[in-house]
């Protein structure tokens, strides 16, 4: 991978955000980033647009780019909507479960465990969120999959920053239990486990962590 590539800039900034070196509200000046990475502002702008699509930063007209700071209230509302949607999705999945679908879910859960065990924080966050999208995809419901992907991305930064390794391990274990219930076609148990899982994810996020101010130059060194 070329160090000057847009992908490299996206990866570097994502890592700095995930590792708490760049905090919510930090301004990301295009020229400073261009100087740091030794690239044109055009490449930096492309990277910032991609990060904005991932909801890790926000772009403000005439003001520039800032590390996103989704509110606690927004995250709680997202989880409330997800619980409504995913309870019904779980019920529907039980009605059309097949060995092939269970095999696909088990493979996904195994990938999650590998990411958790290897301390791959961005990887585990993406995989743990994608488990829910995968359910919708395996049902063949692309509208639901897109809706869930959007909902999950809205609280991705909070999950990235405030979910501990311990909580991530629990999420992986809970996914495995949900898959067992789905394989057994136990609708009541699967729905209960899904609801409890989403409640646990929300409860395990440390919203009140105090973060010091961060300087862009220091954060990227």
Domains and CATH numbers, the chain: 6-69 (1.10.10.10), 72-203 (1.20.120.530)
Q: What is the pLDDT of residue 1?
A: 42
CA 180/CA 183 separation, integer angstroms: 5
From start to end of 14-168, where are the E strands?
27-28, 57-60, 64-67
In this prediction, residue 4 carries a pLDDT of 55
Sheet containing 57-60: give its strands across.
Answer: 27-28, 64-67, 57-60
Instruction: Fill in the DSSP letter of residue 40.
Output: -
User: What does the DSSP assignment read for 155-179?
Assistant: THHHHHHH--HHHHHHHHHHHHHHH
CB neighbours of residue 31 within 10 Å: 9
Positive or negative CA dihedral for 187, 189, 190, 192? positive
pLDDT tens-digit series, residues 142-187: 999 999 988 887 877 777 777 778 889 999 999 999 999 999 999 9
| DSSP secondary structure, 61-81, as one string | TTTEEEE----HHHHHHHHHH
pLDDT tens profile 102-114: 999 999 999 999 9
Overall pTM surpassing 0.85 (yes/no): no
The parts of the chain modelled with pLDDT lower than 70 are: 1-4, 207-221
Angle at CA of residue 28, ends 25 and 32, nearest 5°? 150
Q: What is the CA radius of gyration of the chain?
A: 19
Between CA 100 and CA 105 the distance in angstroms is: 9
Which residues on adjacent β-strands are paired with residue 27? 66
């Amino acid at each position: 991978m070329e160090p000057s590539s847009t992908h490299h800039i996206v990866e570097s900034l994502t890592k700095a955000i995930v590792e708490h070196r760049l905090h919510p509200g930090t301004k990301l000046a295009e020229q400073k980033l261009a100087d740091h990475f030794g690239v044109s502002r055009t490449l930096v702008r492309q990277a910032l647009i991609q990060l904005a699509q991932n909801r890790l930063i926000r772009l403000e007209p005439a003001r520039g780019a800032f590390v996103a700071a989704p509110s606690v209230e927004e995250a709680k509302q997202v989880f409330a909507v997800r619980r409504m949607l995913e309870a019904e999705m779980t019920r529907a999945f039980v009605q059309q479960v097949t060995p092939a679908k269970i095999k696909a879910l088990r493979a996904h859960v195994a990938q999650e465990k590998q990411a958790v065990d290897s301390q791959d924080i961005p990887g585990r966050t993406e995989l743990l969120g994608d488990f829910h999208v995968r359910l919708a995809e395996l049902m063949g419901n692309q509208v639901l999959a897109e809706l869930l992907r959007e909902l999950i991305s809205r609280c991705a930064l909070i999950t990235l920053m405030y979910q501990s390794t311990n909580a991530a391990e629990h999420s992986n274990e809970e996914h495995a239990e949900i898959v067992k219930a789905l394989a057994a076609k136990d609708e009541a148990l699967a729905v209960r486990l899904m609801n409890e899982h989403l409640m646990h994810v929300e409860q395990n996020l440390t919203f009140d962590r105090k973060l010091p101010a961060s300087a862009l130059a220091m954060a990227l060194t």
